[in-house]
């Protein structure tokens, strides 16, 4: 039986104070444009939810029309995290996932503006290793080192 480990979503308020784009949007509020930018970001983040289970990462996008996708954890090849100084001060980061799954086959999948991103990434890394062990998956690299 699949067990939910953590549910999370991007943080609009932390994006505002933790990114250059957020600060620019706040300044643009003086002329009214920033309110629209912040509203669009808030609406997108409101409809973007992640559910990390012991078997997969489930991604749900949308409020009116919903799209759901998933990445099987045993297929994950690499996890990364990017965060600027402002991001670190606000406690957010962007997690990147590379896998053999169709969702991330051609390019990494990015989870932006995640609160406590390093903790989430570490949980995900542990679950990836456990899932690989359960499914008896081993990564084989081809090519030579020369």
Q: What is the pTM of this model?
A: 0.86
- pLDDT, residue 130, reads 94
Residue 76 bridge partners (DSSP)? 99
Q: What is the CA radius of gyration of the chain?
A: 17
Render pLDDT for 94-121 as a digit per residue (tens, 0 to 9).
Answer: 999 999 887 777 889 999 999 999 999 9
Separation of alpha carbons 101 and 108, rounded Å: 10
Render pLDDT for 28-42 as a digit per residue (tens, 0 to 9).
Answer: 998 888 999 999 999
Sorted by where each begins, the domain ranges of the chain are 4-134
CA nearest to 130, candidates 77, 74, 70, 56: 74
- Provide the pLDDT confidence category of residue 137 given band limits of 50, 70 and 90: confident
Asked if the 4-134 domain carries CATH number 3.90.1640.10, the reply is no
Separation of alpha carbons 91 and 83, rounded Å: 9
């Amino acid at each position: 039986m699949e067990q939910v480990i953590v549910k999370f979503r991007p943080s609009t308020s932390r994006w505002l104070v933790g990114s250059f784009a957020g600060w620019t949007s706040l300044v643009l509020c003086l002329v009214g444009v920033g309110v629209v930018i912040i509203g669009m970001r808030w609406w997108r983040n409101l409809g973007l939810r992640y559910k990390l289970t012991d078997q997969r990462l489930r991604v749900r996008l949308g409020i009116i029309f919903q799209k759901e996708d998933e990445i099987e954890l045993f297929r994950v090849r690499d996890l990364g995290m990017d965060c600027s100084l402002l991001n670190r001060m606000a406690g957010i980061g962007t997690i990147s996932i590379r896998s053999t799954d169709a969702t991330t086959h051609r390019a990494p999948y990015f989870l932006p503006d995640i609160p406590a991103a390093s903790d989430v990434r570490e949980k995900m890394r542990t679950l990836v290793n456990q899932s690989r062990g359960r499914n008896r998956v081993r990564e084989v690299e081809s090519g030579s080192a020369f």
